[in-house]
């Protein structure tokens, strides 16, 4: 006899006790009281959304740290379930990866200046990095310059190669639109250590800071942006080629800067925080 059919025959108002009825129907009491969960109930959605927020703010976190964060927020959840949800969301901790960082030993390497630095104003620190972006026809590359304090993306470029020219274009555009920062931070990639790139910074009196070798988290603010971009846009779009991805990323950057509210910024947008510092210049 089918389990659900047996359960339907049980009468809670009958004079015969539930225990006796279950015995007669050869039905385990736990089976009678069991109500199957939907694949993803309301609590699951709340946890999944919270995990996405944690991943964006702390891309270096593995499942143990996600678990501890959730417990700290009052969620009743086991570590195995956290690991399963990370797999569902495609969340992986960011570890040092040398894929887009190719050093040139002949270039000068500058010290890292951000350790224990109180970053409390716009244009105090800018940061940059290069990442891969996938399309149906292969990878392309994106460089972005971000204001550390406000999280605002000041300029970016997308290219089918990692030649330093597209990094220099992004730098010149940011300087033209927003003035000069006090400190400019990057990794030790040859695009950023090249004389052509560093000479522009030095000519503006900008202090140059570079991540320590193998320390991807030294530039954590741009790593967080890459995760946000990829989860909010790249992973849910089916970009066919570099032309499509350029158009899509352009729309996303506008949305990110002017409409996407950040919990870490007190639920205002990056440009709201940047403009509040009275440093936003008119576009040329």
Q: Is residue 283 part of a domain?
A: no
**Domain identity same for 255 and 130:** yes
pLDDT digits (tens, 9 = 90+) for 41-64: 567 778 887 887 787 777 778 888
Length of the chain: 284
**Domain identity same for 141 and 177:** yes
Count of domains observed in the chain: 3
pLDDT digits (tens, 9 = 90+) for 136-190: 888 889 999 999 999 999 999 999 888 889 999 999 999 999 999 999 999 988 8
Q: Is residue 284 part of a domain?
A: no
**Domain identity same for 28 and 150:** no
Q: What is the CATH number of the domain that holds 230?
A: 3.30.420.10
DSSP 104: -
**Domain identity same for 138 and 78:** no
Q: What is the pLDDT of residue 200?
A: 97
Q: Is residue 115 part of a domain?
A: no
pLDDT digits (tens, 9 = 90+) for 219-256: 889 988 998 998 889 888 889 999 999 999 999 999 99
DSSP 150: T
Residue pair 228/205 in contact by the 8 Å Cβ criterion: no
128 band by pLDDT with thresholds 50, 70 and 90: very high
Q: Is residue 94 part of a domain?
A: no
211 band by pLDDT with thresholds 50, 70 and 90: confident
- The mean pLDDT of 75-93, rounded to a whole number, is 81
Q: Is residue 272 part of a domain?
A: yes
Q: What is the pLDDT of residue 281?
A: 46
pTM of the model: 0.65
**Domain identity same for 27 and 145:** no
Q: Which residues pair with 204 in a beta bridge?
A: none
Q: Is residue 20 part of a domain?
A: yes
**Domain residue limits at 47:** 42-89
Retrieve residue 173's tokens: 């555009």
**Domain identity same for 141 and 8:** no
């Amino acid at each position: 006899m089918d389990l659900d059919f047996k359960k339907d025959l049980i009468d809670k108002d009958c004079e015969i006790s539930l225990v006796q009825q279950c015995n007669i129907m050869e039905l385990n009491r736990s089976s009678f009281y069991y109500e199957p969960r939907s694949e993803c109930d309301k609590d699951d959605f709340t946890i999944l959304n919270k995990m996405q927020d944690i991943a964006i703010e702390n891309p270096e976190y593995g499942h143990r740290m996600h678990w501890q964060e959730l417990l700290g927020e009052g969620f009743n959840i086991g570590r195995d379930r956290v690991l399963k949800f990370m797999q569902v969301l495609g969340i992986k901790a960011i570890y040092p990866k040398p894929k887009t960082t190719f050093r040139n030993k002949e270039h000068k390497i500058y010290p890292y200046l951000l350790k224990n630095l109180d970053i409390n104003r716009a244009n105090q620190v800018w940061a940059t990095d290069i990442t891969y972006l996938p399309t149906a026809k292969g990878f392309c590359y994106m460089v972005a310059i971000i204001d550390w304090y406000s999280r605002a993306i000041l300029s970016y470029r997308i290219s089918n190669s990692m030649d330093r020219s597209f990094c220099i274009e992004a730098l010149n555009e940011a300087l033209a639109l927003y003035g000069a920062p006090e400190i400019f931070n990057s990794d030790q990639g040859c695009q950023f250590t090249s004389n052509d790139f560093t000479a522009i910074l030095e000519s503006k009196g900008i202090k140059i800071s570079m991540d320590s070798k193998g320390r991807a988290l030294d530039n954590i603010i741009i790593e967080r942006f890459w995760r946000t971009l990829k989860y909010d846009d790249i992973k849910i779009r089916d970009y066919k080629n570099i032309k499509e991805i350029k158009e899509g990323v352009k729309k996303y950057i506008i949305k990110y800067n002017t409409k996407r509210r950040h919990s870490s910024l007190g639920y205002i947008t990056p440009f709201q925080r940047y403009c509040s510092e009275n440093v936003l210049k008119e576009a040329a």
